[in-house]
């Protein structure tokens, strides 16, 4: 095998949303950049995360809709004997992923970024050794940007392999199991559990906490729990997973009192979270400061070593693609000599369950913990005309604002299609909007967005439609 040496100003390790955006922006700014990616450009998000999961969610919703119409519908639509070919569904999903990853490659090339396909091993803070198909490449740089992402957290009692899968395998099924047990009631477990239920599997979700989506406040998650129950998804809350039974066809579960039960399973999805990808590529040799498992960074994404930067999931929570993208863009600009800091007023988070959940800024409890005297108000979709025409009136929009000057500090919503409200929520927080600003903005009728205006009006004491 041959050995070559390359030098560059910026070396990016990882071609996920954070890494590729940093590389593109650096290229735009004239910074010589090399990006190293071991698998496929786009990282977890494009290949085995956000994009494929949303594609399967859409397919499952369309199939469920067809089955709903087969039972007769108030809309007057009838469908006979709908079926789904999961292999074709997965091929369609893969086509979307392929188009997006191909687009990333084209953008990197257009902006003069050199992509090296292979696995990087850090030698020091200025050097990486990359094993490629063509041989070994040593890359030396002035600035090292770590964007290696995260990986599914394993569960020691139920190791991956065979019938036990992570979200990666769950997103490319060859068939739909009769009985699926999902371990973890967070957004990944519930999104995929919902998909499999709509595609015909019997689904049981086991969660160690006493409610689903434990990182969200309870009021927001109630409509999701109600929808799961209506769908026929079993919820086993406050339960600990002990492992598989001897026959390997059931999951052993223990309740708070120590009583053990078994949940039959043809497949088990472990979705207990994700952890920064810090092992196996020489990162420990840099001896960077840590914050738990993650790398510690400042408000410019600098690590404890000069000219070594970290963005995205490897730098801990919130593990969101759009956070990584914003950090990547900023690091490229700082390296290019611009004055930038990463101090967003809002990083929205969306859970694509059915109904969807979106949060931006502070919840009422978080505002209270932060020592703010706030008022909050909710407007129900049951009083929204557009929600009625979509046959989906469960859920609400909630606003949180300071009592003294009415500055909006947070938004939350649960309901069908509320993910699209995230832009309005975050924009109002970044622009320092008050309740009066939102209430006085004419919102188009009939739209779900009217509930945003009505929530602000209600906080001011004069909602019009309730």
The verdict on whether residue 313 carries a ligand-binding annotation is yes
- Position 237 scores a pLDDT of 96
Is 216 labeled as ligand-binding? no
pLDDT value of position 359: 98
Share of the chain above pLDDT 70, in %: 100
Is 191 marked within a binding site? Answer: yes
pLDDT tens figures, 22-45: 999 999 999 999 999 999 999 999
Answer for the pair 364, 424: CB distance below 8 angstroms, yes or no.
Answer: no
Q: What are phi and psi of 187, to 5 degrees?
A: -65, -35
DSSP, residue by residue, 360-425: EE--HHHHHHTT--EEEEEEEGGG-HHHHHTT----EEEEEEETTT-BEEEEEEEETTGGGGHHHH
% pLDDT > 90, the chain = 94
CA distance 85 to 206: 28
The pLDDT score that the predictor gives to residue 69 is 87
Kindly state the average pLDDT of the residues 16-27: 98
pLDDT at position 71, please?
A: 77
> 120: part of which helix (H) or strand (E)?
strand 119-124
pLDDT of residue 1: 52
Q: Give the C-alpha separation, 157 to 206, whole Å.
A: 14
On whether 319 is known to bind a ligand per the annotation, the reply is yes
Dist CA 209 CA 327 (whole Å): 32
Confidence bin at 461 (pLDDT 50/70/90) = very high
Is 10 annotated for ligand binding?
no
Is 185 a known ligand-binding residue?
Answer: yes
Question: 28-51: b or e for each residue (b if 16 or more CB lie within 10 Å)?
Answer: bbebbbbbbbbebbbbbbbbbbbb
Is 432 annotated in a binding site? The answer is no
Is 32:166 a contact under the CB 8 Å cutoff? no
What residues form DSSP beta bridges with 3?
A: 136
- 321 annotated to a ligand binding site: yes
The answer to whether 187 is annotated as binding is: yes
Structural domains in the chain, sorted by start: 4-48+90-151+275-336 (3.50.50.60), 164-270 (3.50.50.60), 349-460 (3.30.390.30)
Parallel, antiparallel or unpaired: strands 250-254 and 114-117: unpaired
Which alpha helices (H) appear in 218-354, and where do they start and end?
218-231, 321-335
Pairwise CA distance, residues 70 & 75, whole Å:
12
User: What is the token pair recorded at 354?
Assistant: 């059915």
Q: What is the mean pLDDT of residues 154-164?
A: 94
User: E strands within 184-321?
Assistant: 202-207, 234-237, 240-244, 250-254, 260-264, 267-270, 274-276, 290-291, 294-295, 308-310
Query: Quick check: 447 pLDDT over 60?
Result: yes
Q: Is 207 annotated as a binding residue?
A: yes
Over 90: is that where the pLDDT of 271 sits? yes
Task: Over range 288-307, report the average pLDDT.
Answer: 97
Tokens of 120: 């990087």
| Distance between CA atoms of residues 12 and 23, nearest Å | 7
Q: Is 232 annotated as a binding residue?
A: no
* Cα gap 141→123, rounded to integer Å: 12
Residue 269 marked as a ligand binder: no
139 pLDDT more than 70: yes
Residues labelled catalytic: 445
Q: Confirm whether residue 322 is marked as ligand binding.
A: yes
Report the alpha-carbon distance of residue 20 to residue 377 in Å, rounded.
Answer: 40
pLDDT beyond 90 at 144: yes
Cβ(298)–Cβ(241) below 8 Å: no
Contact 321, 14 (CB under 8 A): no
Q: Has 43 been labeled as part of a binding site?
A: no
Q: What's the whole-number mean pLDDT along residues 199-215?
A: 96
């Amino acid at each position: 095998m041959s050995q070559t040496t390359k030098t560059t100003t910026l070396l990016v390790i990882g071609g996920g949303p954070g890494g590729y955006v940093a590389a593109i922006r650096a290229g735009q700014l004239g910074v010589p950049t090399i990006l190293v990616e071991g698998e496929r450009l786009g990282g977890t998000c494009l290949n085995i995360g956000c994009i494929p999961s949303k594609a399967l969610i859409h397919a499952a919703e369309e199939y469920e809709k067809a089955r709903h119409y087969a039972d007769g519908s108030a809309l007057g639509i009838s469908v006979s004997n709908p079926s789904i070919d999961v292999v074709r569904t997965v091929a369609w999903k893969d086509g979307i992923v392929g188009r997006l990853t191909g687009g990333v490659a084209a953008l990197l090339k257009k902006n003069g970024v050199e992509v090296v396909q292979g696995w990087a091993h850090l030698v020091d803070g200025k050097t990486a050794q990359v094993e490629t198909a063509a041989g070994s490449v040593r890359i030396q740089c002035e600035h090292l940007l770590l964007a290696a992402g995260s990986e599914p957290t394993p569960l020691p009692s139920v190791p991956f392999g065979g019938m036990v899968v992570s979200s990666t395998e769950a997103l490319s099924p060859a068939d739909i199991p009769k009985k699926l047990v999902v371990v973890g009631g967070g957004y990944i477990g519930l999104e995929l559990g919902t998909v499999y239920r709509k595609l015909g599997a019997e689904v049981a979700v086991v969660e160690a906490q006493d409610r689903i989506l434990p990182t969200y406040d309870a009021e927001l998650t109630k409509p999701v729990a109600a929808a799961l129950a209506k769908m026929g998804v079993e919820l086993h809350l406050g339960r600990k997973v002990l492992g598989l039974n001897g026959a390997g066809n059931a999951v052993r579960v223990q309740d708070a009192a120590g009583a053990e039960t078994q949940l039959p399973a043809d497949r088990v999805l472990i979705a207990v979270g994700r952890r920064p990808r810090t092992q196996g590529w020489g990162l420990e040799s840099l001896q960077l400061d840590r914050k738990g498992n993650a790398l510690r960074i400042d408000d410019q994404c600098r690590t404890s070593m000069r000219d070594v930067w970290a963005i995205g999931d490897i730098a801990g929570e919130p593990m969101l693609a759009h956070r990584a993208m914003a950090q990547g863009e900023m690091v490229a600009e700082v390296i290019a000599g611009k004055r930038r800091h990463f101090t967003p007023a809002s990083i929205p988070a969306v859970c694509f369950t059915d109904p969807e959940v979106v949060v931006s800024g502070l919840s009422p409890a978080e505002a209270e913990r932060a020592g703010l005297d706030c008022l909050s108000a909710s407007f129900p979709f049951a009083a929204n005309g557009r929600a009625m025409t979509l046959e989906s009136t469960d859920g609400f929009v909630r606003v949180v604002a300071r009592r003294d000057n009415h500055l909006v500090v947070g938004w939350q919503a649960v309901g069908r299609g509320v993910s699209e409200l995230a832009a309005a929520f975050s924009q109002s927080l970044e622009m320092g909007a008050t309740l009066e600003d939102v209430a006085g903005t004419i919102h188009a009728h009939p739209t779900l967005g009217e509930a945003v205006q009505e929530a602000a009006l209600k906080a001011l004491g004069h909602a019009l439609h309730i």
